[in-house]
Structure 1
Amino acid sequence: MAKKTESPQPAGKRHGDGLPGGDGKPGGEGAGAQAAAPEGAAPAAGPQLNVLGQYIKDLSFESPHAPQTLQNPPPNPQLQVTVNVNVASQSEETYEVVLNIDVHAKSDVGVIYNVELFYAGLFRLRNVPQNLLQPVLFVDCPALLFPFTRRVLADITRDGGYPPLMLDPIDFARLYSQNLGRGQGQANN
């Protein structure tokens, strides 16, 4: 049976790489000490986004021509969907993001149904750089709310007697970019 033998190590401060501080390299023992964080200093935390709550802020469903539109569904209904995002600061780190979706289903006969939904989320943002705050609030937060908003819309249209409305995913980054472009265009006029 072989015995493990340890070789004597030279005395000196170690920097985590197995080499003593006085290894003959330029800078000597003090070189690694400068890179280390001061004792007692907390490491810098990265950006954090927490969902504190989600809720329906307002919901309206109207079917003015029911039960006729339910008994004889009109052919070729036209669907118009409008999406808006609103943000309100609640405190230094807390923001309310409201995803507003309006849906108007019409046909040659007239209005089939109208839905207006304000679905909100309360978000806590910590250590988010100032230049990224708006994109996080207007892109990332609505993207987190969208699946729940979609489910509410599907449920309310189904409960109203119509086939469930299943919205396609929304590209909030593209919408945000378009709105920035419009804002810059208006500022230049």
Structure 2
Amino acid sequence: MTDENANGGNAATTPPQPTQAPQVRLNILAQYIRDLSFENAVAQKGVAGGEVQPEIAVQVGLDARKRSTENQYEVITKFKVTSTNTATKTTLFLCELDYAGVFQIEGVPQEQLHPFLMIECPRMLFPYVRRIMSDVTRDGGFPAFNMDPVDFVALYRQEIARRAQAERPQDQPLS
């Protein structure tokens, strides 16, 4: 008589079950404005006649830090939005926002943690940044500025390429 399992097969030949990859867990524990500045240059200096043709430039910076509590990280998104009059090259407004989130992250392999912190976490914070920028510009006397979505993957790749370029000796020819 042979030993059979519930599926009708021989228990001795049942293949071992593959181990599952650890489940990624991400929780936002807090999010907050670290720093906010808005300067309405038009109201301060006035606009010399003529038509205003605004041009808006957005600069984005990212930073991440390990916190003292296990598996907790603070991710800081830094946005600088400058509106200038293209006709006169004068500044209309300047808005700077540092917006941060505290994240509890588990199950992400160490080699994937840095891109996770610099791509996924800012992506989750972005809708709040966009709303704040819109409200501040509107409350500052301008039409609400609805920032276009930011491609955090492209930003991350650009930063990695920039760092690799900076680390390469200057006298070494390109391959």
Q: TM-score, normalised by structure 1?
A: 0.78
Distance 1:98 1:62 in 2: 22
Distance 2:80 2:13 in 1: 63
Count residues with an aligned counterpart.
165
Amino acid at match of 1:101: F
Of 80, 83, 89, 1:102 maps to 80
What is the CA deviation profile of residues 27-61 of structure 1, one whole-angstrom value per residue up to 9, with x for unaligned ones? xx3232x7259xxxxx7641211111111111111
* Matched residue, 2:16: 35
Whether 1:65 and 2:65 are equivalent positions in the alignment is: no
Q: Where in structure 1 do 4 or more consecutive aligned residues deviate above 3 Å?
A: 10-13
Query: Any stretches of 5+ residues in structure 2 without a counterpart?
Result: 170-175
State the percentage of identical aligned residues: 34
Q: How does 1:156-167 map to 2 (within 5 A)?
A: 156-167=136-147
* Matched residue, 2:135: 155
Cα distance, 1:115 vs structure 2: 0.4
* Matched residue, 2:58: 81
Amino acid at match of 2:28: V
Query: Any stretches of 5+ residues in structure 1 without a counterpart?
Result: 1-9, 22-28, 38-42
Cα distance, 1:127 vs structure 2: 1.4
RMSD of the TM alignment (CA)?
Answer: 2.5
Distance 1:50 1:129 in 2: 17
Q: TM-score, normalised by structure 2?
A: 0.84
Q: How does 1:1-189 map to 2 (within 5 A)?
A: 12-14=3-5, 16=6, 18-21=7-10, 29-32=11-14, 35=16, 45-66=22-43, 68-69=46-47, 74-91=51-68, 92-107=70-85, 108=88, 110-189=90-169
Distance 1:19 1:146 in 2: 54
Residues 74 and 81 of structure 1, relative CA distance in 2, 3 Å threshold = farther
Residues 186 and 113 of structure 1, relative CA distance in 2, 3 Å threshold = same
Q: Secondary structure at the match of 1:153?
A: helix
Higher relative contact order (CA 8 A, sep 6+): 2
What is the CA deviation profile of residues 105-129 of structure 1, one whole-angstrom value per residue up to 9, with x for unaligned ones? 1221722111010111111111110
